[in-house]
């Protein structure tokens, strides 16, 4: 499992699939690849940029995405990555924070039980 705080290519594909699920894009199989098409809903600005700058101005394939050579693509990708990584710490650190609370709780219970035992033994 990656511990990066920035989305990677798998995050990009996941976000692309969410755009399809939310009907901001449609996807059709085209040979060994898939083609993403504009719908009447606006997709994420990064995908809108890709669509607007694609060969036909309204769709692109996954293969075309891999080979996209517009010089501004990196800046748009960076903006997408920054938007998607905003607030990610609360999800990445959730496990560590939860375990910290469990350990603290267990320590308090142990202390309480020990104190109770000592008090009952003293009586």
What are the tens digits of pLDDT across the range 55-78?
A: 898 998 888 888 887 788 888 888
Q: Per the structure block, which two tokens stand in for 86?
A: 């905003």
More confident position, 87 or 17: 17
Residue 86 phi/psi, 5° resolution?
Answer: -60, 125
What is residue 43's three-state secondary structure?
coil
pLDDT tens for 85-114 read 876 665 555 455 555 665 666 666 666 666
- Which H or E run includes 59? strand 59-61
Return all residues near 88 (Cβ < 8 A) that are at least 6 apart: 5
């Amino acid at each position: 499992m990656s511990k990066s705080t920035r989305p990677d290519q798998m995050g990009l594909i996941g976000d692309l699939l969410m755009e399809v699920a939310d009907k901001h894009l449609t996807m059709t199989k085209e040979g060994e690849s898939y083609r993403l098409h504009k719908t009447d809903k606006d997709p994420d600005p990064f995908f809108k940029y890709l669509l607007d700058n694609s060969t036909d101005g309204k769709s692109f394939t996954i293969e075309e995405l891999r080979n996209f050579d517009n010089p501004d693509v990196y800046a748009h990708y960076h903006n997408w990555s920054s938007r998607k990584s905003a607030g990610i710490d609360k999800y990445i650190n959730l496990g560590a924070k939860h375990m910290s609370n469990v350990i603290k709780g267990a320590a308090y219970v142990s202390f309480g039980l020990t104190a109770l035992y000592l008090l009952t033994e003293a009586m």
